[in-house]
Structure 1
Amino acid sequence: MIAKLQLIPGAISEILVSATETGMLTLADRYGLMAAILDESLDEEEQRAVNRIVRSVLRGRLRIQKA
């Protein structure tokens, strides 16, 4: 049985703001991003925000908090 992930409205912008302020992605942020990536109904702005976050991690601007 596969669990259905549901993205909370406004979650992507909250993750982006929080990550920008702290320079870090938390475990909760990562789960939110996973739900966002699996959600096929993201609008263009949300897709761009997810892409910005991923690029920031790849470039070393955001760190991933260890669990």
Structure 2
Amino acid sequence: MSPVNLLPGAISEILASVAETGILTLADRYGLMAAALDESLDEEDRSSLNRLLRAVLKGRVRVVEQLSIAA
């Protein structure tokens, strides 16, 4: 299995985008998957990831099948 590499600052970029739009895209979900699989993720990023996932579960963030919200 090949390692999944998270881009630096990816979680904060996803959080900023979701906070602005209220939408979690397909590309965002792939980024979150990479983050969840990253064993070297620091505690702050892991907490941010968990908060975002809780917001999705509570319906505060809408999940869409689009790759990006840029039109």
**Shorter-chain TM-score tier:** over 0.9
State the match for 2:56 in structure 1: 57
Q: C-alpha displacement at 1:5, in angstroms?
A: 1.3
State the match for 2:32 in structure 1: 33
Q: Name structure 2 gaps, 5 residues minimum.
A: 67-71
The alignment's TM-score, normalised by the length of structure 1, stands at: 0.92
Q: Percent identity?
A: 62
Could you tell me how far apart the structure 1 residues matched to 2:65 and 2:2 are? 24
Could you tell me how far apart the structure 2 residues matched to 1:47 and 1:21 are? 20
1:24 aligns with 2:23: yes
Could you tell me how far apart the structure 2 residues matched to 1:31 and 1:3 are? 15
State the match for 1:46 in structure 2: 45
Q: C-alpha displacement at 1:47, in angstroms?
A: 0.4
Give the superposed CA RMSD. 0.9
* Residue identity in the other structure for 1:54: L
Could you tell me how far apart the structure 2 residues matched to 1:4 and 1:44 are? 20
Q: C-alpha displacement at 1:3, in angstroms?
A: 3.3
